Amino acid sequence: MHKICPARCFVGKFRYNWDLVVANLLFGINFSIFVSLVGNHLDFRTIFMLQVVAGALFFVPAALLSPRTYRVAWADFRHIIPISLLVIYGWMYFILWGSTYTNPIDSAIIATLGPAFTLIIDRLLHRGEGIIPSRLVGIVAIFTGAWLLIFDKGFQLTRGTEGWGNLLILIAVAAIATNTVLIKPTLEKLGTRVVMGWYYFIGLIITLPFFGRYLMLDTLLQASWDVLFELGYLLLFGTVWPMWLLYRGTEQLTAVHTALYRYIQPLIAGILAHLRHQAQFDRTNLAALVLIFIGIILTVIGYRRSLRAIRESLAPRHSHRRQ
């Protein structure tokens, strides 16, 4: 029995790491599809509502089949409602809104800020440690990279400009990073299916009164086959499946694992943007990517040092208890 357990543990860990890899591959493809659809064919609010409806149609019935659904207490909604708002409005709405004005490469590079936000928020929720120089330098480098992208065309954030779009993407990334940290205890308690079901059930309640009118079936019926194909891909392989994989992986692994796999996204988005002639890498993109990448390495180093310090400080207490 003891010989089998390590193998099972390894297979389980591999599976959940693979979940995060596939989820981020699909999210990377999304940036190109977002820009294609909202830039040429559909209002971003139509796509937003369709994503919420698609998620509800899939996840709400799946949640009802889980026995954990009936164990949800009123106190759990104090956690479920805020994380639902962060995903539905903070992430899904803002990233589509931002994609109306920016390009896939900038969007994907800004998405790499997710690990930084995740680590910063995780540390803010676990206070009591001093300032670590490597983390401080890393955070400065990360936000310098973001600053380059947002203010590349000047210091004006006028609505409708590329800088404005990049700022909206930045808000979306901060929202999903915050969600990644806050959702972990709820996922462990209720499971992925239940949490996702409540996500989208609450999502329908808070979006239909305001955006229901954007579900224009006549517009969809008049759309060309390539638009319908991209939209269908986005709803199934860009929303339902990757969200399921993302939170199943997050349930079993750490927030740091979830955050660091986001580096797959700019690679995929950059390749697709180049192949589809949507954007090209320039010096600003490369400089921002390098700064953000260096910043993340320094931030992770600081994070690992702080964990080591916490373990060392707790070690004497545990040894004293054993005695």
Residue of 171, 161, 188 whose CA lies nearest to 100: 161
Q: What is the model's pLDDT at position 46?
A: 93
Answer yes or no: is 236 within a domain. yes
Please, are residues 129 and 302 in contact by the beta-carbon 8 Å criterion? Answer: no
> What integer is the mean pLDDT of 196-219?
91
Q: Which domain covers residue 131, as residue numbers?
A: 16-313
Q: How many CA atoms does the CB half-sphere of 220 hold within 13 Å?
A: 12
9 pLDDT higher than 70: no
> What integer is the mean pLDDT of 63-72?
82
Please, are residues 75 and 190 in contact by the beta-carbon 8 Å criterion? Answer: no
61 pLDDT higher than 60: yes
Q: What is the model's pLDDT at position 113?
A: 75
> What integer is the mean pLDDT of 273-286?
76
Residue 208 burial (10 A CB sphere; 0-12, 13-18, 19+):
middle
Answer yes or no: is 5 within a domain. no
Q: What is the model's pLDDT at position 317?
A: 52
Answer yes or no: is 3 within a domain. no
1 pLDDT higher than 50: no
Q: What is the model's pLDDT at position 92?
A: 93
Q: What is the model's pLDDT at position 315?
A: 55
pLDDT, tens only, 12-56: 577 888 998 899 899 989 988 998 898 778 899 999 999 999 999
Rg (CA), the chain: 21
Structure-token match 């019926």, residue found: 221
For CA atoms 186, 191, 193, 198, give the dihedral sign. negative
Q: What is the model's pLDDT at position 102?
A: 83
Q: What is the model's pLDDT at position 26?
A: 93
Percent of the chain with pLDDT over 90: 27
What are the structure tokens assigned to 25, written together?
Answer: 């591959």
More confident residue, 183 or 300: 183
What are the structure tokens assigned to 30, written together?
Answer: 């999304």
What are the structure tokens assigned to 17, written together?
Answer: 């790491």
Residue of 91, 46, 50, 70 whose CA lies nearest to 198: 70
Percent of the chain with pLDDT over 70: 76
Answer yes or no: is 4 within a domain. no
Structure-token match 């939209």, residue found: 231
> What integer is the mean pLDDT of 258-273?
76
Q: How far apart are CA 116 and CA 178, in angstroms?
A: 11
3 pLDDT higher than 50: no
Top mean-pLDDT range of 195-204, 218-227, 278-287: 195-204
Residue 66 burial (10 A CB sphere; 0-12, 13-18, 19+):
middle
Answer yes or no: is 318 within a domain. no
- Number of CB atoms found within 10 A of residue 110's CB: 30
Residue of 223, 276, 255 whose CA lies nearest to 126: 255
Answer yes or no: is 9 within a domain. no
Residue of 313, 239, 291, 249 whose CA lies nearest to 110: 291
- How high does pLDDT run on average in the chain? 79
- Number of CB atoms found within 10 A of residue 131's CB: 7
pLDDT bin (cut points 50, 70, 90) of residue 172 is very high
Answer yes or no: is 1 within a domain. no
122 pLDDT higher than 80: no
Q: How far apart are CA 294 and CA 4, in angstroms?
A: 40
Q: What is the model's pLDDT at position 270?
A: 76
What does residue 267 show for φ and ψ, rounded to 5 degrees? -65, -50
What's the chain's length in residues? 323
Question: Domain tally for the chain?
Answer: 1
188 pLDDT higher than 80: yes
What are the structure tokens assigned to 88, written together?
Answer: 């539905």
Answer yes or no: is 319 within a domain. no
> What integer is the mean pLDDT of 280-288?
73
Residue of 35, 99, 17, 28 whose CA lies nearest to 263: 28
The residue type of 293 is: F
What are the structure tokens assigned to 61, written together?
Answer: 């019935």
